[in-house]
Amino acid sequence: MPFLQTAAIGALGGILFTVLHLPIPWLLGPMLAVMVSARLLPFNLQWDKRMRNAGLIVIGYVIGRSLTPTALAEIFSQFWLMLVFTASLVALCIGIAYMITKLSGLDFKTALLGTIPGGMTQALVMAEETEGVDVAIVTMTQTVRLLIIICSVPIIVAVMPSEPLTVTEEIFHFTPSFVGYMLAATIAALLAAHFRFPTAYLIGPALITVILQLILPSEPMPAPIIHVAQLAMGVSVGLMLKPSEGKQKGALLYALLSGSILFVAASLLALLFYQLTDASAATSLLALVPGGLDQLGMVAHAVGADLPLVSGYQIFRLFFVLLIVPFIMRAIFNHIDNSHTST
């Protein structure tokens, strides 16, 4: 069965990365193993979307549990800092798109939609709805950007100097309240998906966990379950990043160039954030780099970064890009169209 073959390849990748002591083994191992196998093996690899969604529910619970009242107060106290850094990242993306346009002759609308640091789904929907945009190039650019970030960030964070943490190891107990949390997280995920929340299967469980832990004790998620969730996510991302046939070499060059420049620019912003705040270098990078909340949340949890702060910044950026950036882009596109019409 294709599903079992895919699961076995992902598990082998996780085991190999664990044996080699590579960073985030149960995320990066399955992801790279499946991505390479999809290219080299003669059979078709498949993955059930429900496995990915189940993994997101687990990660959502872990993130929500970290968002204690104290952590939330710290996040809200940095609202203006979040706004400034998020707006700066979006402005950098616009500048990078303009530079790519001048260097390559690529249409500015296509370059901007390929560079903007939102979710891939949102970018592709806007690309399909915007006249004159090359959807294939937008898809490749967003995919390559995601690949650069997912592969680079865990390795960079793993080699960063870290301060010793005094963390009390929590012991999992299978309690009725834990069962209640899992049921509530699943229901919240389904409701969030029904109402079309962004990253619904992660945001829904995170929100309900934040609320429930005000009145009910919560249990730490067992490490084996987190590893399975990481495997489910890694396999899903690996299949999504499977190289597509028939893409132009020029499109790949644009994607590599814009993705690399964006990653460097975001890293410089993270360095500034590190200098201005008392956050660690790893936390600063994970909070500012434009990746997915699910993948970066797992990395933050695995390396001992400040998960609430990372989640807060990534969630803020997600909603900023979803709610504010479309209006900015429409205004830019209308200005371009009006300029072309007047000339």
pLDDT tens string 240-297: 766 554 445 566 777 788 888 888 988 999 999 999 988 888 899 999 988 766 677 7
Q: What is the mean pLDDT of the chain?
A: 83
Asked if residue 24 lies in contact with residue 302, where contact means CB atoms within 8 angstroms, the answer is yes
Angle between helices 200-212 and 293-303 (to 10 degrees): 50
Percent of the chain with pLDDT over 90: 25
Vertex 260 angle, CA 84 and 97, to 5°: 65
Vertex 115 angle, CA 338 and 291, to 5°: 145
d(CA 162, CA 9): 33
Q: Pick the most confident of 66-80, 238-252, 315-329.
A: 66-80
Please state which of the ranges 14-18, 37-41, 103-107, 240-244 shows the lowest mean pLDDT.
240-244
Q: What is the pLDDT of residue 257?
A: 84
**Is the domain defined by 2-160+174-342 classed in CATH 1.20.1530?**
yes
Separation of CA 343 from chain center: 41
Q: Pick the most confident of 100-104, 202-206, 299-303.
A: 202-206
Domain ranges of the chain: 2-160+174-342
d(CA 323, CA 122): 11
Amino acid at 4: L
Separation of CA 248 from chain center: 26
For residue 189, is pLDDT > 90?
yes
